[in-house]
Each structure stands twice: as C-alpha cells, then as structure tokens.
Structure 1
Amino acid sequence: MKPSGLQYRGSRWSNKGKQRVQCPHFQFESADYSLQINRVTEEDGGLFICRVDQQGNHLNEDASVVKEKATMSLNGKWTCVVKHHGKEGRASTSLSVKGIIQPFKDDAKLYAAVGSAATLPCVFSSGLTPLNSTWEKIKQGSPLTPPVDHLPSSFAASSPPNQLPWDKSATLNEVSFEHEGRYRCAGTIEGQRITRTMQLVVAKIVLSQKESSDMLTCELDDTSEVTKYEWVPVMYDHNGTESEGPVHEGKTVTLSRASEEKWSQWTCRFYGGKDLLGNVTFHVEQMSGLFGKESSGMPRNTATIIGLSFLLFALLLILVQIYKNHQRRKRAFQYPALEAIVHTVSNEREERERNRVKK
C-alpha cells in the first residue's frame, strides 16, 4: 500500500528501481483516480480494475470492468467515467486490436461472378508477419470443428514477390459455381494461432428463351444479404465509347428483339441495403452463340431450314437420275427374244457366205 492510498498489484511496475506507475493522490478530491504509466511496454497490456473505497463502501466495483472478445470494432478511444456526490471523474485510453484486419469479421461474405478472377483476403495488421500461414476449404453442413475439403485447382495461396509479408490473401484465377462455400485462413503470431473464416458467394446470369423475347435472371448461391437487383444495359459506338441505358429493377429482365440488337451487354448489380455487393455481366453475342441467331435479325431457325432445303433438293436430283437410268435399261431390254432371233439369223448368214467362198 502506497502512502497515497494506492495499492499496486501489477507486474513489472518498476524499471531499474524506478517506479513507472503513479496515481496522484492530490487529485482524489476532484474525483480523478487516473492511473499513469510511464514508459509503456508490451507487458503492460491486460485487464485493469479501478476500485474506490470510501467509508467501507465500494463505488461501482462491478461496473468498472469491461470484458469483450477482442475484435477490430473495439479500436479507438475508451473513457471511464466515475460520478460521486455530484462530481465526475474521467480516465481515457486508446485501444488498438491487432490480428487479421481483412476480412474484419468471421463468415464475412465475398461476391464473385462466374468466369472472373477473385481474391480471398487474409490481411494481418501492419507489421505482423504470421508464421505457418495456411488456407482451407470447409465442407458444407459440417459441425463447429468442420472437416477440410479440397481446395479448387485454380486456387493460388502463394504470395507474389511484391506482396507485403503480412498479406496472406489467396486468389482464384477463374471462378466457377463449384467454388462457392466457406474458406478459412490461419497464421501464427507470437505462438498464438489466429484464424478467419469467410464465405465466397458466386453469381451468374441464366438465359431462358421465349418465342418473341429472351429473359435474363441474376442467380446467386446465397441471397441472404441481397435486398435489391438492378439491370444496366450498355452499348458501344464505332469509337468504342460506352454509354448506359435506363436501369431496370428486379431479379429478372425481359429482352425484346429490338433491345437485343441495340445493347451490347447487360450488367446485373445486386445490393445489400445501400451497399453494392457485386455485379455480373452478360454479353449479347453470347445469346447468338447459344441460339444460332443471325446478326441481321433473321429467325433463329432460318439457317437450319435453308440447310435442310438444300439437302432435300440434292436427294431429289439423285432420285431423278436413278429413275432415268432405270428407264434406259428398261427400254434396251424390252424385247429380249426378238433380239436373240435377229442375232441367230445374222450368224447363219455369215456362215453361208464363208462356205460359198471356200467352194
């Protein structure tokens, strides 16, 4: 117990015999019970309890302690306020939580379009270089300690040379619908294993055909955060200048033949409240490839009909030629018996002529 009435129960409060902690008792009358630490070190981090005894009573003994799981949301300035007999005392301190800062919380959702490249962030606080950093894909429907699934073949967890040592983010070179799911990154800092889980949500556009129009539908494997969809048509002039058309709301947009010829692409944007979660784009030329459309706007089956017509015409010519050949052969062998008699008479005449010459 110090002469001021302050009792220190911490560890390593002295440096080379000099006290590093003080709480000036002459400020007690003004309800200022602040604790001052000189030459702060890493060992000073921890839980501090402020308790004021007056005439045997404890003032705010339980309410003076704040206990919370350390998250990035706790960063900032904290102030302890003590009121007694109309007087108020305050003590402030700044708190900085270090660890994985991106994503800022577990199970954060990340959005990517099919066919695009995606980054799965795993960024530690600046200056923290984790050891034994790893990535895992978590099987769906598993318990709290989930079994590990195989990472996708296009998953790249190695850090490029220009990447900061505390950035352990990974990439997917080309996202497919099978890549959706939960991932976990981990690293060791000062002997403590730090992990962060995240969920990759994959978006794609589904095209369905009708007689006079087409429909585009924006599909995500998880829509729990989505509150609104917007469709934005885009066209390009001969100089490559981009211009956007009117925005259409809704998960599905219907395209007329005229709109398909006018717009080069349609982009679906999806929002969570006012925040843009992501987008996915459909190029109109994909429609031509899928359904065999002609750029002139001809019906989809015109090319097929023309091809079948040429084939039938060729078959008809072949059949006609076969018929003509058959008729010629039929005429040539119409009187086979008469042809045999004529041939016999001719042979006999030639034989008599040869005999007369011999005589």
Structure 2
Amino acid sequence: MRLPELLCGGIFLFFFISDVRPEKVEVLVAAGSQAVLPCKCRSLSSDSAIIWSKERGGTVWRKQRSGLQYRGSSWAQKGTQRVQCPHQQFERGDFSLQIDAVTKEDGGTYTCMVDVGRWVTQSVVTLRVLTGILQPSREDARLYAAVGSAASLPCIFSPGLKPSESLWEKLKPTSLFRSAVDRLPASFSSSSSPAQLPWDKSARLDPVGLEDEGRYRCSGTVEGQRLARNMKLIVAQIVQTKEKGSVTLSCQLSDSSDVTKYDWVQTTSDPNGTESVRSVLKGKTVRISPESEQNQWTCRFYGKQGVLGNITHQAQLIGGLTGPGKSSVPSRNTPTVVGLSLLLLVLLLVLAQMYKNHQRRKRIFQYPALETMVHNISNEREEKNRNRARK
C-alpha cells in the first residue's frame, strides 16, 4: 500500500474513534433503592447500538441497531428485569441505565458504549452501594414487646459509618404513599451514651404502653445520601376474665397477622426456689383454675420462622391489665370484710365518745378548792331553809 493511502486510512481511523472519551463518573446509592448510571452522547442517531457491561460481570444490557434488546441472565429477580434504558430518553442523547432494587453485589465499574455509526462514545461509571442500616435487616421489620416491659428499637448502620442528622419519627397509620409524622411517646428515649458506637442510633421505650404500637422510622445521612429504615412495633398483653370457678387468660396482640400458633407454659417454684414447667396448653385463650392462677403463666406466640415473642402473667399484676372482655367478680370474702369494717367504725365512735367524757371531767376537776366552797355554800343554804320550815 502506498504512503498516501496509508495516510488517508490513518486520518479516517482517527476521526472515527475521536469521539471515544471515557468519562469517569461515580454514583453513590443506598441498598434497595434505584440507581441511574449516566451515559450521554452529543451525536444522535435513531439506529444507534448501545452496550452496557460490568467489569468481570459481562453484558448487562444492550440494543442492536435493529432495535432488539438483550439483558444479562443474572439481572432478573423473581422473573422481573431489574435493568432498563428508557427509550423516551434516546432522542435527547440520554442512554442512562436504570438498576432497580440495588444490592451490595451490584457495586462495581460499568462501561457504556454508544455506536452512532460514525462515532463511538464511551462512559465509565463506578457504582458504590451503601449497605446502610444493618439492623433492622429489612424494611418494615416487625418488633414485639409486652405491655409494661422495656423495648429496644434497633437502628445500627454499617460499622465505620458516622451518620449525621440522625432522626427518629413515629408514623401515623395513613396511606402507603405518604407517611405523616406522629408525636413520639413520652417513654421514648434516643439519647446515646458515651459507650455507644457512632453508627449505633438505636432507641428505647420504657415502659411500653398499648398506645405505643405502630410504625417508627430511623434515618441518617451518610456521605450525602439519606438512609432510612421503617419498622413496626407490635404490643402484646394478657387479658384476664374471671368466671365462677375458673379464670380465662387471653393473649392479645395489636397485630397478629404473622402469628401462626400460641402456647401457654405454667411455671411453678418449690420451697428451694427451683422453677419447673408443669404444663403446656395450646391456643390463644386458655381456661385455668383459680388455684393455678397463683403460678406464673407465659404465653408464647410463633410465626413461620419460629418464636416471635412472649408475655408473662402473674396474679399480682392483674390490676394493671386492661382490655375488652375483662370483668370483675366480687370475692367470696366481701361480706366478711364489710362486717369487720362496720365493727371497726363502731369501736372508733365509742372510743371518741369516751375521750370526750374524759376531757370534760378534767375541766371540772381542774379547780378543787372552788368546788369545795360551792358545795359548802349549797349545804348551808339547805340547812337554813330546813330551820325556817320548823319555826
């Protein structure tokens, strides 16, 4: 090949690849959210070919000039494709890749190549995925607590992260699309101790009340990204109903949709303080004898994955439990108590009267000489009256 032809070919090849500009961009997103990897080209063509690939991961998404599209097999989740390039953006030269429900494994380096016929544009994007909040490990995790107990609301970020502007909120039970903020309970505490790690933003409720059930949200800012996790607190209580000759205990939860079964454990103690389990009953509600009520009864509730929680009932705690179906039956000793009360009242009245009489006597005998003079004068007067009558 002659020199002029070589020069022409070299000039043509130079202009063909002159628009290959590997622009390096970094995208930071939280796990579970949507990531948009930018890829823009100034040259427009309706029949352009696009290839998105991941380093050491192969092709993610591509489109041929004919319009046919292909996706990598590893980018389907339960039959749903997680990656796409919106066609409505192509006319503006925007070939950005959207990744839904980002996972930690999605992090890495991606390359976008757009071939518009005469020019090839290349973009390099590094995707960083923040694992964010480790506990609760999933969105809308369910936490169970008994009335009167202390409950922990976990909010633990990845070790090493130092979230700023951390915030706890209680959400009102409104529509799914908009969460209105409610007032935090009076027993809520989110103050961190000096021993608490910087990435631990957990809170506490002590004690838990029936009105504390509901959805809570913990959030914080990490490297400019706002990370949040919602959780639901479910409150459990034991409601007692007394009937003639028996006692009914019912295990009630503010939300029992995940509960698959209940059982009751009776715990007794011997004189040495050794505890033992005497019986296990099944069901949400059990009927026991008044004698066995004096022992400790624990209701355990289960879900598909195992034990969800438990709540303990003791006879001396019944006065603090409230709820539908609870009734009070007068004790058999009530007439005896009333009779003793009346007798005590009568005795008090008698003692009060005796005290008054005693005080009156003290006032009378306070001046004995004066009393003698009055008595002598009275006797002399009577003697004169008798003498006049004889005359």
| TM exceeding 0.5 | yes
> How far is 1:103 from its partner?
1.4
> How far is 1:9 from its partner?
7.3
1:147 maps to 180
The one of 280, 299, 307 aligned to 1:276: 307
Q: Amino acid of the residue matched to residue 336 of structure 2?
A: I
**RMSD (Å), alpha carbons:** 4.1
Report if aligned partners of 2:61, 2:72 keep a CA contact under 8 Å in 1.
no
Instruction: Return the alpha-carbon distance in structure 2 between the equivalents of residues 221 and 8 of structure 1.
Output: 61
Instruction: Return the alpha-carbon distance in structure 2 between the equivalents of residues 305 and 285 of structure 1.
Output: 22
The one of 180, 196, 210 aligned to 2:213: 180
Report if aligned partners of 1:70, 1:97 keep a CA contact under 8 Å in 2.
no
Instruction: Return the alpha-carbon distance in structure 2 between the equivalents of residues 11 and 152 of structure 1.
Output: 51
Report if aligned partners of 1:51, 1:58 keep a CA contact under 8 Å in 2.
no
Matched, 1:109 2:159: no
> How far is 1:124 from its partner?
1.3
Deviations along 1:307-353, one digit per CA (max 9) or x if unpaired, are: 3333556789999xxxxxxxxxxxxxxxxxxxxxxxxxx99975331
Q: Amino acid of the residue matched to residue 216 of structure 2?
A: Y
1:243 maps to 276
Matches within 5 A, 1:1-359: 11-12=23-24, 49=60, 61-63=70-72, 66-67=82-83, 69-70=100-101, 74-75=103-104, 98-142=131-175, 144-261=177-294, 264-287=295-318, 300-302=331-333, 304-311=334-341, 351-353=388-390, 355=391
Structure 2 unmatched runs, 5+: 1-12, 14-18, 26-52, 76-81, 84-98, 108-127, 322-329, 351-382
Q: Secondary structure at the match of 2:70?
A: coil
> How far is 1:165 from its partner?
1.2
Instruction: Return the alpha-carbon distance in structure 2 between the equivalents of residues 49 and 77 of structure 1.
Output: 11
Instruction: Return the alpha-carbon distance in structure 1 between the equivalents of residues 63 and 180 of structure 2.
Output: 50
Deviations along 1:66-105, one digit per CA (max 9) or x if unpaired, are: 435336xx45699xxxxxxxxxxxxxxxx97511121122
> How far is 1:266 from its partner?
0.5
Deviations along 1:246-279, one digit per CA (max 9) or x if unpaired, are: 2111111111133235xx2111111112421111
Report if aligned partners of 2:293, 2:314 keep a CA contact under 8 Å in 1.
no
Instruction: Return the alpha-carbon distance in structure 1 between the equivalents of residues 345 and 149 of structure 2.
Output: 49
Instruction: Return the alpha-carbon distance in structure 1 between the equivalents of residues 59 and 254 of structure 2.
Output: 46
Q: TM-score, normalised by structure 1?
A: 0.63
Q: Secondary structure at the match of 1:61?
A: strand
Q: Amino acid of the residue matched to residue 301 of structure 1?
A: R
After the TM superposition, which of the residue ranges 147-156 and 60-69 deviates more from structure 2? 60-69
Q: Give the % identical residues.
A: 46
Instruction: Return the alpha-carbon distance in structure 2 between the equivalents of residues 288 and 139 of structure 1.
Output: 30
> How far is 1:235 from its partner?
1.1
Larger RCO (CA within 8 A; separation ≥ 6): 2
Deviations along 1:286-311, one digit per CA (max 9) or x if unpaired, are: 35999xxxxxxxx9331x32233335
Instruction: Return the alpha-carbon distance in structure 2 between the equivalents of residues 289 and 131 of structure 1.
Output: 40
1:85 maps to none
Deviations along 1:213-263, one digit per CA (max 9) or x if unpaired, are: 1111111111111111111111122222221122111111111133235xx
Instruction: Return the alpha-carbon distance in structure 2 between the equivalents of residues 288 and 147 of structure 1.
Output: 35
Q: TM-score, normalised by structure 2?
A: 0.58
Q: Secondary structure at the match of 1:280?
A: strand
Instruction: Return the alpha-carbon distance in structure 1 between the equivalents of residues 62 and 142 of structure 2.
Output: 43
